[in-house]
Chain A
Amino acid sequence: MDIRVNHLTKTYGTQRAVDDISFEVKTGEILGFLGPNGAGKTTTMKILTCYMAASGGQVQIGDYDVMAQPERVKRHIGYLPENNPLYLDMPVLEYLTFVAELQGVPRAEVPTRLRSIVGRCGLNLEKHKKIGALSKGYRQRVGLAQALIHDPDILILDEPTTGLDPNQIVEIRNLIREIGKEKTVILSTHILPEVEATCDRILIINRGKIVADGTPESLRQQGEGSAIFLVQVKVPAGSPGPTEALRALPMVKAVEVLPKQPGRYRITADSDMPFRESLFRYCVKQQWLLLELTKEEQRLETIFRDLTLN
Chain B
Amino acid sequence: MRETWIIAQREFRSYLDSLVAYILLVVFLGLTGAFTWLIMADVFMIKQATMEPFFNVAYWSLFFFIPALTMRMLAEERRTGTLEVLLTRKVSDWQAISGKFLGAFLLIAVSLLFTLPFYVSITWLGPVDHGAVWCGYLGLLLLSAFYISMGIFASSLTDNPIVALLLALLIGISFHWIFGILSSVLPGAGGRFFHFLSASNHFDSMARGVIDSRDVIYFLSFSLLALILAEARLAWRHVADASMAR
Does A50 sit within 8 A of B, measured CB to CB?
Answer: yes
If A43-B245, A71-B90 touch, does A146 touch B237 (CB 8 Å cutoff)?
no
Q: Which of B42-82 contact A (CB under 8 A)?
A: 80-82
B129 at the interface (CB under 8 A from A): no
Known interface pairs A52-B238, A89-B17; A102-B88 also in contact (CB < 8 Å): no
Task: State whether A87 touches B82 (Cβ < 8 A).
Answer: yes
> What would 24 A/B residue contacts be, using CB atoms closer than 8 Å?
A12-B245, A13-B240, A15-B242, A46-B245, A50-B88, A51-B88, A51-B237, A70-B92, A71-B90, A77-B88, A79-B88, A81-B81, A82-B81, A85-B82, A85-B84, A87-B14, A89-B14, A90-B10, A90-B14, A102-B6, A102-B89, A102-B90, A102-B91, A104-B2
Are B82 and A53 in contact, CB atoms less than 8 angstroms apart? Answer: no
- Is B113's beta carbon under 8 Å from chain A? no
Which residue among A15, A70, A71, A85 has the maximum number of chain B CB atoms within 10 Å of its CB? Answer: A85
- Judged by a CB distance under 8 angstroms, whether A99 is at the interface is yes
Is the pair A12, B81 in contact by a Cβ cutoff of 8 Å? no
Q: Contact mask B75-119 → A, CB, 8 Å, 1/0?
A: 000001110110111111000000000000000000000000000
Q: Is A75 an interface residue (CB 8 A)?
A: yes
Tell me how far the C-beta of A148 lies from the nearest C-beta in chain B, rounded to whole angstroms. Answer: 13
B149-192 interface (Cβ within 8 A of A): none
Mark each residue of chain A from 14 to 37: 1 if its CB lies under 8 Å from any CB of chain B, else 0: 010100000000000000000000
Closest-by-CB residue of B relative to A71 is B90
A71-B90, A90-B14, A102-B91 known; A81+B85 contact, CB < 8 A:
yes
With a cutoff of 8 Å between Cβ atoms, the chain A residues found around residue B18 in the complex are: 89
Decide if B239 is an interface residue (CB 8 Å cutoff).
Answer: yes
- Is B91's CB under 8 angstroms from A81's CB? no
Chain A residue numbers with a CB within 8 Å of B82 are 85-87
Kindly list chain A residues whose C-beta atoms are within 8 Å of the C-beta of B88: 49-51, 74, 77, 79, 81
* CB atoms of A52 and B245 under 8 A apart: yes
For the complex, what is the distance from the CA of A82 to the CA of B92, rounded to whole Å?
Answer: 21
A83 within 8 A of B: yes
With CB as the reference atom, state the residue of chain B lying closest to A130: B17
Could you say which of B13, B92, B245 has the most chain A C-beta atoms within 10 Å of its C-beta? Answer: B245
| A12–B92 CA distance with the chains assembled, in angstroms | 23
Verify A85–B90 contact, CB threshold 8 A.
no
Selected contact of B84 from candidates A17, A51, A87, CB within 8 Å? A51
Chain A nearest CB, measured from B205 CB (Å): 41
Q: Which chain A residues border B237 with CB–CB below 8 Å?
A: 51-52
Chain B residues whose C-beta falls within 8 Å of the C-beta of A90 in the assembled complex: 10, 14, 17
Q: Tally B residues with Cβ within 8 Å of A.
A: 26
Set of chain B residues within 8 Å of A94, measured between Cβ atoms: 13
Q: Does A101 contact B (CB under 8 A)?
A: yes
Query: Considering only CB atoms and an 8 Å cut-off, how many residues of chain A contact the other chain?
Result: 34
Query: With A13-B240, A53-B239, A81-B81 in contact, do A98 and B90 touch (Cβ < 8 Å)?
Result: no
B204 at the interface (CB under 8 A from A): no
Q: Is A271's beta carbon under 8 Å from chain B?
A: no
Asked if A168 is an interface residue, CB under 8 A from chain B, the answer is: no
A12 with B90, Cβ < 8 A, contacts A52-B237, A81-B84 known:
no
Q: A298 within 8 Å of B by Cβ?
A: no
The 4 closest A-B pairs by CB, nearest first: A85-B81, A53-B238, A12-B242, A49-B88
A103 interfacial contact with B, CB 8 Å: yes
**Which B residues fall within an 8 A CB radius of A?**
2-3, 6-7, 10, 13-14, 17-18, 80-82, 84-85, 87-92, 237-240, 242, 245
B85 contact set on A, CB distance < 8 A: 79, 81, 85-86, 99, 146
Instruction: Given A75-B90, A98-B6, verify A85-B80 contact (CB < 8 Å).
Output: yes
Given contacts A90-B17, A102-B3, 11 further A-B contacts (CB under 8 A): A12-B245, A53-B238, A71-B92, A75-B90, A79-B85, A85-B84, A87-B14, A87-B82, A89-B14, A99-B85, A102-B90
Closest to A17 in B: B242
Give the distance in Å from the alpha carbon of A49 to the alpha carbon of B86 in the complex.
11
| Chain B hits for A103, CB < 8 A | 89-90
B206: min CB distance to chain A, Å: 36
Q: Nearest CB to that of A158 among chain B residues? A: B84
Binary interface encoding of chain A residues 91-113 relative to chain B, with 1 for a CB under 8 A from any of its CBs, else 0: 00010001101111000000000
- Report the bound CA distance from A13 to B3 in whole Å: 34
CA distance A53 to B240 in the complex (A): 10
- When C-beta atoms are compared, the residue in chain A nearest to B90 turns out to be A74
Which one of B2, B6, B89 has the greatest number of beta carbons of chain A within 10 Å?
Answer: B89
Q: Kindly provide the distance from the CB of A188 to the nearest chain B CB, expressed in whole angstroms.
A: 15
Report the separation of the CA atoms of residues A50 and B17 in the bound assembly, to the nearest whole angstrom. 31
Q: List CB contacts (< 8 Å) of A43-94 with chain B.
A: 43, 46, 49-53, 70-71, 74-75, 77, 79, 81-83, 85-90, 94
When C-beta atoms are compared, the residue in chain B nearest to A83 turns out to be B81
Bound Cα distance from A123 to B3, whole angstroms: 26
Closest A residue, CB atoms, query B84: A81
Q: Which chain A residues lie closer than 8 Å to B89 at the CB level?
A: 74, 99, 102-103
Identity of the chain B residue whose Cβ is nearest the Cβ of A101 in the assembled complex: B6
Question: Which residues from chain A contact B245 at a C-beta distance below 8 Å?
Answer: 12, 43, 46, 51-52
